[in-house]
Amino acid sequence: MTRRFIDRARVHRGVAGWALCLAAVPATQGAEPQPAGSQTAVWRHHHVTFSYTGLTTLYTCDGLESKVRAIFEFLGARHDMTVFASGCVGSPEQPTRLASVEADFYTPAPAPDGSPDAVAARWTPFQITSQHPYFMDSGDCELMQSMKATVEKDLTARGLTYVADCVPHEVHDGDFKVSGEALEVLPAAKK
């Protein structure tokens, strides 16, 4: 039996490294026309709750919050989200098998014509596996399985393929793969 433990500090170190890499990308100067393939979007509010049951991977509540936040941000959610995991026995730093996750966030959605709150966006291909992006791991299959309804219903994606074939108490590369195109707000419009 393989049991994994994910803690918040590890996820935060990875997110911090990713943020530093993004900060190193030079910003463009001045207003530029929208690139080909771009479209307008509006921010759509979501409040979701889902349950996590870990037979193979145990998370602390803090670690679960960090991992869910990183996944939502990768799929286009705004950075000002709140994610709260509850149900951890003892303390938020103690691993748990069962937890409830509540999240409040905004994602871009295609804007109706003439919408006054529209921002520039584009469809961007994405893939989530045990190897990509950097914060994902082989033990995250059960989490991706738990998040399936939320990702399909609440995040703006097209051409979505969602596979999560988790085997309890076993960790295998290739157990999960989520891919498609996510609507991403262009950097100049994220202000």
Reported as a single tens digit per residue, the pLDDT across 124-169 is: 999 999 989 999 998 999 999 999 999 999 989 999 999 998 988 8
Mean pLDDT, residues 55-64: 92
What does the block give as tokens for 20? 């530093």
pLDDT classification of 78: cutoffs 50, 70, 90:
very high
Q: Do residues 182 and 155 touch, judged by C-beta distance below 8 A?
A: yes
pLDDT number for residue 92: 67
* φ/ψ (deg, to 5) at 85: -105, 135
Residue from 64, 191, 180 nearest 125 by CA? 180
pLDDT classification of 88: cutoffs 50, 70, 90:
confident
Residue 126 bridge partners (DSSP) = 180
Instruction: Write down the pTM of the prediction.
Output: 0.78
Write the DSSP string, 109-178.
EEPPTT-TT-EEEEEEEEEE-SSSSTT--GGGHHHHHHHHHHHHHHS-EEEEEEEE---TT---TTSEEE
